[in-house]
Amino acid sequence: MLKDFFGKKVKVINLGIASFAEDLRKQGVETIHTDWRPPAGGNKKIQALLDKVASWQSKVKSAKGAR
């Protein structure tokens, strides 16, 4: 439930603007900044293929976890 998230410590993965991560660090928030760049060099076809693999693996991991 969303309300169960209230009150928990926020821990952040930051993708994009570096200053957002810097500001969070200043406040002592556990943050990891990502030196993000367009996936697959911006190639949509390759992105789509990678997404298929990710989607497949997501299912495999859930199935394994369910065992």
Binding residues for other proteins, rule: CB under 8 A, are 1-3, 5-27, 29-43, 45-47, 49-58, 60-61, 63-64
Minimum CB separation from other proteins for residue 66, in Å? 11
H or E segment at 14? Answer: strand 12-15
What is the residue whose two structure tokens read 């997501």? 58
Minimum CB separation from other proteins for residue 24, in Å? 7
Minimum CB separation from other proteins for residue 52, in Å? 4
Report the candidate in 36, 31, 25 with the shortest Cα–Cα distance to residue 12: 31
